[in-house]
Amino acid sequence: MCLAVPMQVTEINGEMGKVEIGGVCREVGLMLLEDIRIGDWVIVHAGIAISKINDQEAEETLKLFKEGGMI
Partner 1 sequence: MDKKELQTYADKLKNLELERPIRIMEVCGTHTTQFFYTGVKDLFPEKLSLIDGPGCPVCVTPNRYLDRAIEIARTHEVWLVTFGDMMRVPSSYSSLQKEKAVGVPIHIVYSPLDALTLAQENPEKQVVFLSVGFETTIPTEAVAVKKARQEKLKNFSILTGNKLTPPAVRALLDAGEVKIDGFILPGHVSVITGIKGWRFVADKYKKPCVITGFETQNLLIGTMALIHLIQNGNPEIINEYSQVVTESGNEKAQEVMAEVFESTEAKWRGIGTIPESGLCLKEPFQEFDANLRFPVNPPEEVEPRGCRCGEILRGLVTPLDCPLFGKKCLPETPVGACMVSSEGACAAYFRYQKVSP
Q: Which residues of 26-56 are buried (b: 16+ CB within 10 A; e: fewer)?
A: eebebeebeebeeebbbebbeebbeeeeeee
- At its nearest, how many Å lie between partner 1 and the CB of residue 4? 5
Site membership for partner 1, residue 51 (CB under 8 A): yes
8 part of the interface to partner 1, by CB under 8 A = no
Interaction of residue 67 with partner 1, rule CB under 8 A: no
Told to check if 12 binds partner 1 by CB under 8 A, we report no
Say how far apart CA 32 and CA 34 lie, in whole Å: 7
Chain residues in the site for partner 1 (CB under 8 A): 1-4, 29, 31-34, 43, 45-48, 50-55, 57-58, 60-62, 65, 69-71
